[in-house]
Amino acid sequence: MPNIIETYNLTRSYNGFNAVDKLDIAVEQGEIFGLLGPNGAGKTTTISMLCTILKPTGGSAKVNGFDIVKEAMQVRKSIGIVFQDPSIDDRMTGRENLYMHANLYGVPTGEQKSRIDRVLKLVELEDRADDLLRTYSGGMRRRLELGRGLIHYPKVLFLDEPTVGLDPQTRDHIWNYIKELKYTHDITIVLTTHYMDEADRLCDRIGIMDHGKIIALDTPPKLKETLEGDVITIKAAKIDELTALLAEKLGLMQCIIVDGDLEITVRNGRAVMPRIIETAAENKFFIESILMREPNIEDVFLHYTGRNIRVDSTRELHGFSAIQRRKIR
């Protein structure tokens, strides 16, 4: 598949600080490409430049074959955007809002009604189309915003945290639309999210971003393969001493403490687990519980960024909480 987005040393700096730092990525036509990263990693800045809302201070990029600076108008015609912050005027009805956007994007007058009806059907808002947006729930607004991003049949749809703060069912619903768009309308989707499970399930490829750079980029299975292997989680008293003991006796170095539990990444978890239990017992450590699982995208994220990711509440929309992290050397 050809690349629909290419960036070359794409950079945006603010007073000498590079929010996006010499980014080189290529997104293939028709893929769902996820950008993951901690708060402030540069995801929104990247998307804003690709959408021509923000000018790069260095490098360049092409979207749908057009230069984001020199051919900004053509880029705009090629894309749809759903912003991180809700950008909807709630004194309008859903349908009015869609008409306004159809006009903004130059959709021919004769085609507006049929396209709007189609989009309303796609996001299942036909029943509520003539209600004021202020009477919509958060999930309905988000769905309308998604629909709005599609009104001019974009080649690329940029979604900056499309599901943040929504309940699990609504999130699921929105992800289904996103998948449907990819398959039925051949739209390339670039999204940012803090929901690791969804990124894992839906993205063809994921780029992990931190400090303005891509630090890992691959398909979810390949990213997981880059980790050492299994993750063993131990709940126990005197966790620091136990960690030191396991490092000394078993050479287990890939240890971090997450929420008071010890997480050890090892190559052959099944063989290592009994030895951990044995060593702990011999040295009079009481293990409350010990679990093993295969690595997930959250582990990959943690591995590359050194930070845990969590969406704690709908109020703190994209809240990360730093974890206690300790590598033993």
Ligand X SMILES: Nc1ncnc2c1ncn2[C@@H]1O[C@H](COP(=O)(O)OP(=O)(O)OP(=O)(O)O)[C@@H](O)[C@H]1O
Show contacts with ligand X in window 84-103 (CB under 6 A).
Answer: 84
**Site for Mg ion contains 193 (CB under 5 A):** no
Shortest Å distance, C-beta 318 to ligand X: 5
Among 44, 46, 48, 243, binds Mg ion (CB under 5 A): 44
**Site for ligand X contains 325 (CB under 6 A):** no
**Site for Mg ion contains 45 (CB under 5 A):** no
Among 159, 23, 169, 10, which residue's Cα sits nearest to residue 80?
159
Decide whether 15 or 169 has the Cβ nearer to ligand X.
15
Q: How many CA atoms lie within 13 A of 281 on its CB side?
A: 7
The CA-based dihedral angle spanning residues 79, 82, 85, 86, taken in that order and rounded to the nearest 10 degrees: 130
Among 4, 41, 164, 227, binds ligand X (CB under 6 A): 41
Decide whether 18 or 44 has the Cβ nearer to Mg ion.
44
The SS3 of residue 255 is strand
Q: What is the 3-state secondary structure of 141-202? A: HHHHHHHHHCCCCCCEEEEECCCCCCCHHHHHHHHHHHHHHHHHHCCEEEEECCCHHHHHHH
Among 21, 24, 19, 20, which residue's Cα sits nearest to residue 8?
24
Q: Are strands 26-28 and 3-14 parallel, antiparallel or unpaired?
A: antiparallel
Instruction: Choose the binding region for ligand X from 21-29, 35-43, 93-101, 261-269 (rule: CB under 6 A).
Output: 35-43
Give the single-character DSSP code of 93: B
**Site for ligand X contains 25 (CB under 6 A):** no
Among 7, 11, 45, 265, binds ligand X (CB under 6 A): 45
**Site for ligand X contains 4 (CB under 6 A):** no
End-to-end CA distance of the chain: 44
**Site for Mg ion contains 52 (CB under 5 A):** no
Instruction: Choose the binding region for Mg ion from 78-86, 139-147, 245-253, 262-270 (rule: CB under 5 A).
Output: 78-86
Decide whether 4 or 20 has the Cβ nearer to ligand X.
20
Which residue type occupies 4?
I
Q: Of ligand X, Mg ion, none, which one does residue 144 interact with (CB within 5 to 8 Å by kind)? A: none
Among 305, 290, 327, which residue's Cα sits nearest to residue 39?
305
Shortest Å distance, C-beta 164 to Mg ion: 10
- By the criterion CB under 5 A, which residues form the site for Mg ion? 43-44, 84
Residues in contact with ligand X by CB under 6 A are 14, 19, 37, 39-45, 84, 318
